[in-house]
């Protein structure tokens, strides 16, 4: 079945450090890929998305490129801030069983803590 | 504010009891999703509705049930509650059930004591 695997956290970085959170997926079709962010006490918010191979999603300095050959969608940011501290979820949407029903599958989340 | 409204925000109840969580999707969204978030199991998909009909089922226990009403709001019913059901329950919505961004509510915290 479809699945998403994320690197385990927590990830602790100093402010202005480079961030990479790895995400790989397994899907039988051609999924759309997403990164969601959850700030403390809040629901998940869409951070960025990509709908086909080689697409790059970007938002708020974060980027991720849809790599079909490596089935990956790694999240990167060149210089993190304290305000980026949150939990990041990788997700896919795929019509896995061709029933016309799409399922959204989320990874387990990676907690990021940025220190001043 | 995502536009998805969930009530109640917090709920404490005893084992064996039954609760109902309510969700109002974003205006115009026809599809509703329910997720359970617990510390040890991450974000688990429970069930999805589209325009009143069940479209997909995930890891939803038989003690749990849901429905989407004609006005498109949805309710998640949890019965015979156990301590392990304590979690954050999210509702999300999208226009159509496929490929689109889904928008999450702020969740309902359920504590079973």
List the single residue in A with minimal CA-CA distance to B55: A101
Q: How many residue contacts between A and B have a Cβ separation below 8 Å?
A: 55
Rounded to a whole number, what is the distance in Å from the CA of B103 to chain A's nearest CA?
A: 7
Residue in A43, A45, A51 nearest the CB of B99: A51
CA distance A102 to chain B (A): 5
Q: What is the pLDDT of residues A16-37, one digit of tens each?
A: 999 999 999 998 778 899 999 9
Give the pLDDT confidence of A62-83 residue by residue, as tens digits: 999 999 999 999 999 999 999 9
Contact A103 B58 (CB under 8 A): yes
Half-sphere exposure of A14 (CA within 13 A, CB side): 0
Mean pLDDT of all residues in B66-87: 97
Average pLDDT of the segment spanning A50-57? 94
């Amino acid at each position: 079945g479809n699945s998403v695997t994320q690197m385990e956290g927590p990830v602790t970085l100093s402010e202005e450090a480079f961030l990479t959170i790895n995400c790989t997926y397994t899907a039988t079709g051609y999924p759309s890929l997403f990164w969601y962010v959850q700030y403390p006490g809040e629901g998940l918010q869409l951070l960025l998305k990509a709908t086909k191979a080689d697409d790059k999603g970007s938002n708020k300095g974060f980027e991720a490129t849809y790599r079909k050959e490596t089935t990956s969608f790694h999240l990167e940011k060149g210089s993190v801030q304290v305000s980026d501290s949150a939990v990041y979820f990788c997700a896919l949407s795929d019509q896995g069983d061709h029933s016309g029903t799409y399922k959204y599958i989320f990874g387990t989340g990676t907690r990021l803590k940025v220190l001043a | 504010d995502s536009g998805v409204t969930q009530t109640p925000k917090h709920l404490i109840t005893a084992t064996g009891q039954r609760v109902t969580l309510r969700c109002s999707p974003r205006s115009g969204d026809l599809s509703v999703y329910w997720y359970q978030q617990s510390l040890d199991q991450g974000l688990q998909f429970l069930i999805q509705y589209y325009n009143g009909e069940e479209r997909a089922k995930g890891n939803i226990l038989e003690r749990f049930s849901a429905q989407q009403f004609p006005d498109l709001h949805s309710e998640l019913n949890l019965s015979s509650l156990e301590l392990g059901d304590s979690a954050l329950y999210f509702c999300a919505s999208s226009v159509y059930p496929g490929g689109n961004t889904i928008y999450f509510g702020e969740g309902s915290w359920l504590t079973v004591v």
